[in-house]
């Protein structure tokens, strides 16, 4: 995309579209990738709640896949995941492995 010239800018540098950051993907920051093991998931939604990057999708109150476009790989979800019978439902694996 051609960078904007001074005539194309919004007055006062106001950002006119609320939530436009969804167009800025942060997934490439990730060094570790969280992997969901649905079989161990108890649907507590703690991962969704604690994810600082709103990178865990929930559909109709049910946990769905990670949003890898935005997940930065911090690992909070994996650490906080209670899992089932001591077995975590999220595991962190190194990217590219």
Partner 1 sequence: MAKVVAVTGNEACANALRQVNPDVCGIYPITPQTDMMQRFASFIADGKVDTESILVESEHSSMSACIGAAAAGGRVVTATSSQGLALMWEMLHIASGDRLPIIMPVVNRALSAPLNIHGDHSDAMGARDTGWIQIWSENAQESYDNTIQAFRIGEHMDIRLPVMVCLDGFIISHSIERMEYLEDDEVKKFVGEFKNFLPLLNLEKPISYGPLILTDLYHEYKRAQHEVMTKVKDVVLDVAKDFEKMSGRKYGLFETYRLDDADIALVILNSAAGTSKDVIDTFRDKGIKAGLLKPRLFRPFPYEEVAEALKSVKAVCVMDRADSFGGYGPLFMEITSALYHIKERPVLINKIYGLGGRDYLPSHAELVFNELNEIAKGAKVKNIKEYIGVRE
Partner 2 sequence: MATGLTLKELSKKEDRLTHGHRMCSGCGAPTVVKMVLLATDYPVIASNATGCLEVSTCISEYTAWKIPWIHTAFENAAATLSGVETMYRSLKKRGMIDKEIKFIAFGGDGGTYDIGLQSLSGAMERGHDMIYICYDNGAYMNTGIQRSSATPLGADTTTCPAGSVIPGKLRSRKDLTKIMAAHNIPYAAQASPSHWMDLMKKVKKAHEIKGPKFMNILSPCNRGWRSKTNDSITLSKLAVNSCYWPLYEIEDGVTKITYTPKEKVPVAEFMKPQGRFKHLFAPENEWLLKAVQEEVDKEWEKLQKEAKCG
Where along the sequence are the contacts to partner 2 (CB under 8 A)? 10, 15, 17-26, 29-30, 44-46, 48-55, 58, 60-61, 67, 69-70, 72-76, 78-80, 92
Q: Which positions from 13 through 52 interact with ligand SF4, judged by CB under 6 A?
A: 34, 36, 41-47, 51
Which tokens is 88 given? 């975590």
The 10 Å Cβ neighbour count of residue 22 is 10
Between CA 26 and CA 58 the distance in angstroms is 19
Between CA 14 and CA 18 the distance in angstroms is 10
CB of 6 to partner 1, least distance (A): 4
Between CA 55 and CA 45 the distance in angstroms is 12
- Partner whose binding site includes residue 42, from ligand SF4, partner 1, partner 2, none (CB under 5 to 8 Å by kind): ligand SF4
Element (H, E) at 12: none
Which tokens is 57 given? 């999708």
- Partner whose binding site includes residue 2, from ligand SF4, partner 1, partner 2, none (CB under 5 to 8 Å by kind): none
- Partner whose binding site includes residue 61, from ligand SF4, partner 2, partner 1, none (CB under 5 to 8 Å by kind): partner 2
Residue ranges in contact with partner 1 by CB under 8 A: 3-7, 9, 11-19
């Amino acid at each position: 995309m051609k960078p904007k010239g001074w005539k194309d800018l919004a007055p006062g540098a106001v950002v006119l579209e609320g939530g436009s950051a969804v167009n800025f993907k942060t997934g490439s920051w990730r060094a570790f990738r969280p992997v969901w093991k649905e079989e161990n998931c108890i649907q507590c939604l703690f991962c969704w709640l604690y994810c600082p990057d709103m990178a865990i999708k929930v559909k109709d109150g049910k946990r769905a896949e990670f949003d890898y476009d935005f997940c930065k790989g911090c690992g909070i979800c994996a650490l906080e995941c209670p899992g089932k019978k001591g077995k975590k439902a999220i595991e962190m694996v190194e990217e590219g492995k």
